[in-house]
Amino acid sequence: MILEKAKEVLEEYGLCNHCLGRLFAKLGTGSNEERGKAIRLVLEMETGLNFEEPDECDLCGGVFRKIPEFVDLCIEAVKDYEFETFRIGSRFPQEIIEKEREIWTKFKIETGEPINREFNRELGKAFAVKTGKKPSTNPDLVIVVEPFSKKVELQVNPIYVAGRYRKLVRGIPQTPAPGFKESVATIICRAFRKHFNGKCVFKGAGREDVDVRMLGRGRPFVVEIKRPKKRKIDLEDVEREINSSRKVEVLDLRLITPREAEEILTRRHRKLYEALVYVKDGVSREEVEKVVRELTGAEIRQRTPRRVLNSRADLVRVRKVYKAEGELIDDKHFKLRLLTDGGLYIKELISGDKGRTTPSVSEILGKEAWCELLDVLEVLEDDADVEGDS
């Protein structure tokens, strides 16, 4: 059957050994070129006819003979990038793809392999031999070759790094904002951009207000470095450079996968806060104890605070306070430490936000109270929502 079909095809098309062997790729092992050579040889021996390989293939135009040239083009394209793994892709003209399908249909070929698949494999093997790099299904780089235009396009896969950040000073937003020269994101990304030589995108697991410090072990975050030219980076060097700002510190930096990045950013957290509460009409030790007693274990119904209505949907969220501790400072101030679900706005928990949060410290005291200072002491993993939390 093979010889009969091969004879019919070669009587109409001058195919190279690659394209001839590829018609029967599913019928055996070995390369398509070797298969094509063997078929041609046996066919000539059995028929006595000359089926010599043509100088230029009617299907591929001789692209397989140019593999060494394409290897050099690929090496030139990747010269500025550090990488260990790669994958080859290709774009063949539509007329070549259609011509191959026409041959399969006309001669009822059901054992063929698409031309681009063989080209990618053969170019990949040659590129690996010459560069010492490894082919991979999850590579650092994807090299896309257009064999007929000789164009080479690079798809540089991003690098993901996870860690935790501590914001040691007030007055810095998490991400760039009008009126602020820098942010947590710009301080962190400045170092990543420099070391990896790529574009840095910062994403935090929740956020704190400009005037809120993030202390303890810090808040989880992920940076995505797009089109990095450098990959062999000592993350301790990046950590030291960020920490030298004395405004933001990072710890536990590590390389992660895209799936791990998504898990970190969608994971639920409880938060431990410390607030300095001001009560204009004065507060007593007994009143502080009452606040602690009534907030511990309380379910808080909180309508979206007015200050964030421009960026949050106006709806009621139910969040829990797991634990509360209080300490009287003077006749108008007390410290309030709270362990809560993520997504609970603490400033509004204290002020009541004109009744939009209930219960609140103001409601419990029966007099106005508001937050003068707020710190996030810890971000703890659990099953609470990740959302705005200041």
Would you give the distance in Å from CA 152 to the centre of its chain?
A: 25
Active site residue 80: no
Q: Which residues fall within 8 angstroms of residue 199, CB to CB, at 6 or more apart?
A: 193, 225, 226, 227
Calculate the dihedral angle through the C-alpha atoms of 96, 101, 107, 109, rounding to the nearest 10 degrees.
120
Beta-strand pair 369-382/268-279: antiparallel
Write down the catalytic residue from 72, 80, 140, 209.
Answer: 209
Q: Which of 47, 169, 64, 82 has the alpha carbon at shortest distance from 120?
A: 64
Q: Which of 346, 334, 353 has the alpha carbon at shortest distance from 377?
A: 346
Given CA atoms 45, 46, 47, 52 in this order, what sign does their dihedral have?
Answer: negative
DSSP notation for 117-165: HHHHHHHHHHHHHHH--EE-SS-SEEEEEETTTTEEEEEE--EEEEEEE
Annotated binding site for substrate: 273, 345
389: left (phi over 0), alpha (psi -120 to 50) or beta: alpha
Q: Nearest 5°: CA angle at 81, between 254 and 245?
A: 45
Task: Write down the number of H helices and E strands in the chain.
Answer: 12, 14
Q: Which residues are catalytic?
A: 209
